[in-house]
């Protein structure tokens, strides 16, 4: 049995709606698909940003590429 999808209502200004219409038409997509993809991408980007910020807080030292190669003893490797 197919998963039932939930409905969400969103209000747009006339300009925003015309942009959505044009974008969906340009890429041959349904408006709902455009919105779904945009929301998922926004959430994924936010999660990536938060993970980066957490990693930065835990990092005590940063290395240049030259320093990292020397530390890892891969001086001649093509990285």
Closest CA to 34 of 47, 50, 44, 21: 21
- Residue 69: what are its φ and ψ, rounded to 5°? -60, -45
Are the CB atoms for 32 and 22 separated by under 8 Å?
no
pLDDT score for 76: 61
Cα distance between residue 65 and residue 72, in whole Å: 10
Half-sphere exposure for 70 (CA within 13 Å, toward CB): 5
pLDDT score for 61: 83
Identify the DSSP state of 28. T
The 10s digit of each residue's pLDDT in 14-70 is 999 999 999 999 999 999 999 999 999 999 999 998 898 888 888 888 888 888 888
Predicted TM-score of the model (pTM): 0.61
Identify the DSSP state of 75. T
Map out the domains of the chain as residue ranges: 32-79
């Amino acid at each position: 049995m197919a998963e039932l999808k939930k409905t969400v209502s969103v209000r747009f200004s006339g300009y925003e709606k015309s942009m959505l219409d044009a974008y969906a038409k340009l890429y041959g997509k349904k408006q709902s698909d455009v919105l779904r993809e945009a929301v998922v991408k926004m959430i994924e980007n936010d999660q990536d940003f938060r993970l980066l910020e957490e990693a930065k807080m835990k990092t005590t030292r940063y290395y240049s590429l030259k320093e990292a190669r020397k530390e890892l003893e891969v001086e001649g490797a093509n990285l």
